[in-house]
DNA sequence: ATGGTAGGACACCTA
């Protein structure tokens, strides 16, 4: 018997302000699990009641006051929830859990990588140094347990657009934080050394332009279409045969009072 | 070369 599994990742840019959009996404797409970033609230302020009303009983939150913060919203029980800290900082940028699908656990890793500030210089800009150190720590972690890892999905706002077709202008963004060579090289090392598959690019050709984020600062974001692919879905190789579809739901960027990120939807079929 | 918008918290920080 075939068993379908749908995961969505979305930088919501304040879950309390946009709880209505979260409810809409859950109703329209009925994912098995929704991974949120930039919830911008403490654990106790997460809008659990509204989410439970939509039929999602299982939430795990790693929040903090005002900034950052990640969460998992699931139809299935969340086991072995972990909240990892990077670079010896207290920022809430990671949460992970197992969900049982088709009789075996799948490990979900949800990240919000630091944006890195405006100046792509580690000496002049500590936020850029923090971003690179964070990515290096991810690399070390996943390179170390590569051979023992299976049935894992890594998602989130990684704040780096690695391919030339992941940005509206490769040439104009080479010195812009999110697309500098030191960042894209770093992210590519996490991907390669960890043995990950870029699920979005395994279903959407790398020659095709693909964005998940359009700045609020552009008054006509859709027409100018100066986007970047900052949000990602990576999978371990054993999950590749089960992956059947990937979609960036661009219409959500045009919903009322939107997040500046569109949700990314990945569908699997086990069985 | 520059500034453009948004959210949270409370004087600017983060994005």
Domain boundaries, chain A: 4-269
Give me the pLDDT at residue A271, please.
Answer: 78
Give me the pLDDT at residue A219, please.
Answer: 84
Q: Residue A1's pLDDT band (boundaries 50, 70, 90)?
A: low
Counting DSSP H helices and E strands in chain A, the numbers are: 7, 14
Portion of chain A with pLDDT greater than 90, in percent: 97
Sign of CA dihedral A174, A179, A183, A187: negative
Strand B neighbours among A 5-24, CB < 7 A: 13-14, 16-17
Sign of CA dihedral A14, A83, A110, A72: negative
Taking 80 as the threshold, does the pLDDT of residue A108 lie above it?
A: yes
* Region A171-192 average pLDDT: 98
Could you say which DSSP state residue A241 is in?
G
Can you give the distance from the CA of residue A196 to the C1' of nucleotide B10 in angstroms?
Answer: 43
Please, what is the average pLDDT of chain A? 97
Can you give the distance from the CA of residue A173 to the C1' of nucleotide B13 in angstroms?
Answer: 25
* Region A21-50 average pLDDT: 98
Burial of residue A239, with CB atoms counted within 10 A of its CB: 0-12 exposed, 13-18 middle, 19 or more buried: buried
Instruction: Name A96's bridge partners.
Output: A82, A109
Asked if A77 contacts A99 with a C-beta cutoff of 8 angstroms, the reply is yes
Strands A3-11 and A33-37: parallel
* Region A217-230 average pLDDT: 95
Task: Return the closest-CA partner of residue A58 out of A103, A84, A26.
Answer: A26
Q: Quick count: other Cβ atoms within 10 Å of Cβ A145?
A: 11
Based on its alpha-carbon atoms, the radius of gyration of chain A, rounded to whole angstroms, reads 17
Answer left, alpha or beta for residue A62, where phi above 0 means left and psi between -120 and 50 means alpha.
beta
pTM above 0.85, yes or no: yes
Instruction: Return d(Cα A82, Cα A70) in angstroms, integer.
Output: 12
Strand B nucleotides within 7 Å of a protein CB: 3-9, 14-15
Strand B neighbours among A 36-55, CB < 7 A: 38, 40-41
A217 touches strand B (CB under 7 A): yes
Task: Return the closest-CA partner of residue A66 out of A13, A21, A117, A110.
Answer: A13
CATH class, A4-269 region: alpha beta
- Contacts of A26 by beta carbon, 8 Å cutoff, 6+ apart: A34, A51, A54, A55, A56, A73
Which tens digits make up the pLDDT trace of A8-17? Answer: 999 999 999 9
């Amino acid at each position: 018997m075939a068993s379908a599994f749908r995961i969505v990742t979305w930088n919501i840019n304040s879950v309390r302000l946009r709880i209505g959009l979260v409810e809409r996404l859950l109703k329209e797409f009925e994912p098995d699990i929704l991974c949120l970033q930039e919830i911008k609230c403490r654990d106790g302020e997460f809008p659990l009641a509204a989410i439970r009303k939509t039929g999602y009983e299982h939430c795990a939150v790693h929040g903090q006051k005002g900034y950052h913060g990640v969460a998992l919203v699931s139809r299935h029980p969340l086991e072995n929830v972990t909240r990892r800290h990077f670079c010896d900082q207290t920022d809430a940028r990671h949460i992970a859990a197992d969900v049982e699908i088709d009789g075996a656990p799948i490990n979900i890793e949800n990240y919000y990588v630091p944006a890195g500030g405006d100046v792509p210089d580690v000496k002049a800009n500590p936020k850029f140094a923090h971003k690179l150190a964070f990515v290096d720590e991810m690399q070390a972690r996943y390179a170390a347990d590569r051979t023992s890892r299976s049935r894992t999905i890594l998602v989130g706002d990684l704040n780096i657009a690695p391919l030339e077709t992941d940005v509206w202008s490769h040439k104009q963004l080479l010195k812009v934080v999110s697309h500098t060579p030191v960042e894209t090289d770093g992210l590519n090392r996490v991907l390669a050394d960890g043995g990950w598959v870029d699920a979005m690019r395994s279903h959407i050709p790398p020659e095709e332009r693909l964005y998940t984020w359009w700045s609020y600062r552009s008054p006509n974001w859709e027409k100018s279409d100066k986007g970047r692919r900052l949000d990602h879905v990576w999978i371990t190789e054993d999950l590749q045969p089960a992956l059947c579809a990937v979609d960036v739901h661009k219409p959500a960027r045009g919903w009322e009072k939107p997040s500046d990120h569109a949700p990314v939807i990945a569908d699997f079929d086990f069985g």
